[in-house]
């Protein structure tokens, strides 16, 4: 089974909470950067300049390394 993570972005000052299911912690950080940036300039949006926000990433499914492959004919 593949590794799946639950990423929760919260900004209590703006009363925001977003939940994403991603394949890696790096992808969770990418989603957060896309969420807080402006579409055209990719800079941080003005509403997030002085706001406090956080991202928590927790595993949902972890890989055991077994792909159920049987090499016997």
d(CA 42, CA 25): 20
pLDDT in tens, 27-57: 999 999 999 998 888 899 999 999 999 999 9
So what's the pLDDT on residue 17?
A: 96
The whole model's pTM is what? 0.77
pLDDT 10s digits, 18-34: 999 999 999 999 999 99
- The per-residue pLDDT for 15 is 95
Beta strands in the chain (DSSP E): 4-11, 16-22, 54-61
Residue 1 gets which letter from DSSP?
-
């Amino acid at each position: 089974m593949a590794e799946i993570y639950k990423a929760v972005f919260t900004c209590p000052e703006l009363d925001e909470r977003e939940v994403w299911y991603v394949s890696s912690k790096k992808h969770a950080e990418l989603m957060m950067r896309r969420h807080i940036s402006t579409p055209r300039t990719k800079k941080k949006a003005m509403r997030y300049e002085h706001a406090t926000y956080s991202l928590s990433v927790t595993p949902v499914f972890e890989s055991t390394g077994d792909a159920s492959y049987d090499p016997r004919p």
